[in-house]
Chains A and B, each alone.
Chain A
Amino acid sequence: MAQVAPPLTVPEIVPDQQSDSKDALEPGYLVVCWNDPVNFMDYVTHVFQTVFGWNRQQAERHMREVHEKGRSVLVRESLEKAEFYVHQLQQFSLHASLERNA
């Protein structure tokens, strides 16, 4: 069996300055959908079902909240996941944004 030579240099361990903070991994961000006069209610319901996998009833409840109150908080997630969902909703041209959970 071939012997493995010991490493001549030991890599220096540098702390990762850019790694996600604990904050970015915790569900501290809200995904919000905003009302607008152009997106059909049925379309918004369909998008919520598609993006979040919700049943029709849950999707309609959020759609109505958007329509009646001007906005609805859809999910609370980590920054990374919240960004993902906002991106998904914006792909369907819905007015969506993320907010830090106060």
Chain B
Amino acid sequence: MRQLKATSRAWTFALTDREREFLLAVLRAYPVLPPDYQPLSRDSADRVSPEDLHLLHDALAEQRGAHQARLRRWLRSGSRFRPCEQEWQFNLARTDLDWMLQVLNDIRVGHWLKLGCPEDIHDPESLLRQDPAAFFYMEAAGMFQMQFLQARHGPPDPD
């Protein structure tokens, strides 16, 4: 996938057939993370009330429902991908960026959770042996995330 152009309203990307399939397959996996996978506080001494925790989880669940509905509409749109010579082109509106990043990161972190929250995610062999599908989703979601972030902020600084 590569960026073709950027305007004040949207970015345009070119994808191969395979990349388009990957993107659609990854997005269809949403949502992955359970809404209650994170505590509001890590220390019981902070005395966050069960009501507050309940409200937070409700809000997260509601937000995921809204994202899911928006994603369904986004995927259904017939003009989302336009064939162009040997490739596909698609536009990502700037107003869709943070929503898209949240969706992709839910998929990435959710599959990391399915892999047992490994500390070392740069050891593909053992993760592939463990759960190839989860590893694929985690990596593919991360790859698209980085493409969109680079479109927004430019390429990462060299270390």
A residues whose Cβ falls under 8 Å from a Cβ of B: 29, 32, 36-43, 46, 50, 56, 83, 86-87, 90-93, 95-100
| Chain B neighbourhood of A40, CB < 8 A | 142, 145-146, 149
Which of B40, B63, B101 is in CB contact (< 8 Å) with A46? B101
Asked whether, in the complex, the Cβ of B105 is within 8 Å of the Cβ of A39, the reply is yes
- Check if B132 is an interface residue, CB within 8 A of chain A: no
Residues of B120-159 at the interface with A, using a CB-CB cut-off of 8 Å, are 120-121, 138, 142, 145-146, 149, 152-153, 156
| Chain A neighbourhood of B153, CB < 8 A | 42, 46, 56
Asked whether, in the complex, the Cβ of A93 is within 8 Å of the Cβ of B105, the reply is yes
Bound-complex Cα distance A17 to B145 (A) = 47
Asked whether, in the complex, the Cβ of A83 is within 8 Å of the Cβ of B118, the reply is no
Cβ-closest chain A residue relative to B113: A38
- Check if B38 is an interface residue, CB within 8 A of chain A: yes
Asked whether, in the complex, the Cβ of A99 is within 8 Å of the Cβ of B105, the reply is no
Given A93-B102, A93-B109, decide whether A37 and B121 contact each other with a Cβ distance below 8 A.
yes
Bound-complex Cα distance A72 to B46 (A) = 17
Asked whether, in the complex, the Cβ of B105 is within 8 Å of the Cβ of A100, the reply is no
Residues of B17-55 at the interface with A, using a CB-CB cut-off of 8 Å, are 33, 38-43, 45-48, 52
Cβ-closest chain B residue relative to A56: B153
Bound-complex Cα distance A18 to B68 (A) = 35
| Chain A neighbourhood of B117, CB < 8 A | 36, 38
B residues whose Cβ falls under 8 Å from a Cβ of A: 33, 38-43, 45-48, 52, 56, 59-60, 63, 98, 101-102, 105-106, 108-109, 112, 117-121, 138, 142, 145-146, 149, 152-153, 156
Bound-complex Cα distance A90 to B52 (A) = 14
A-B contact pairs, 13 of them (CB 8 A): A32-B42, A38-B109, A38-B121, A42-B146, A43-B105, A87-B56, A87-B59, A92-B102, A93-B106, A97-B39, A98-B46, A98-B48, A100-B45
Closest 9 pairs between A and B when the two form their complex, measured CB to CB: A38-B112, A93-B109, A93-B105, A100-B46, A97-B42, A42-B149, A97-B41, A37-B121, A90-B38
